[in-house]
Chain A
Amino acid sequence: QQPVQSPQAVILREGEDAVINCSSSKALYSVHWYRQKHGEAPVFLMILLKGGEQKGHEKISASFNEKKQQSSLYLTASQLSYSGTYFCGTETTEQLTFGKGTKLSVIP
């Protein structure tokens, strides 16, 4: 079953922060986050393992609440290069299922 992402789209000015949420109704092994720029392939950002782990990549970090089967991606002090569509992928037995994506636009 496809995880639910929110919001569907967000527009930020450079330097602003954003949070993208991902939730699943199934018990998860992990949550993956990918970013896809227009016309390109999705690119892996980070993986969160069950255990309430939080990770960071530059000014992008994420958390995973395994009790709620929810993950959040935090983008701080956004840059123009952060623009793109962000997908969460939820990992269950033998499957990685992607959400519909959140389109992030960063404007000057």
Chain B
Amino acid sequence: NAGVTQTPKFQVLKTGQSMTLQCAQDMNHNSMYWYRQDPGMGLRLIYYSASEGTTDKGEVPNGYNVSRLNKREFSLRLESAAPSQTSVYFCASSPTLAGGGQETQYFGPGTRLLVL
């Protein structure tokens, strides 16, 4: 099992460019998440998907869109990148959505994004 995989690992964008971050999991999990991590800020939730076909906003959704393509894949799109979106992006998955207890999240290796 590969667990949670993310592509690309690194990306440099110019302001205004668009890109899609890809995430896939092979653990048959229902729920998937996108976080961004900035120095001193911890992990902040951008969007999440409780199950295939549903997506919801997290704490910091502005400037992002997501697509739950199928049960395995959850992508994050930056339509017009801004320097404030320079960050490390982590995708995670869990068996079901948090709220019932015991829902461990498994993280991918991260994508390091620099917007110039």
Residue ranges of A at the interface with B (Cβ–Cβ < 8 Å): 2, 29-30, 32, 40-44, 47, 49-50, 87, 89, 91-101
Contact = CB atoms under 8 A, between A and B. Distances in A.
Main SS at interface, chain A:
strand
A100 B40 contact: yes
B108 A41 contact: yes
A41 B40 CA distance: 16
Interface in B91-111: 97-110
B41 interface: yes
Interface residues of B, number: 24
A29 B104 CA distance: 13
B110 A100 contact: no
A14 to B, nearest CB: 27
Interface in B53-109: 59, 90, 97-109
B42 A40 contact: no
A87 B25 CA distance: 23
Interface string B33-48: 0010000111111000
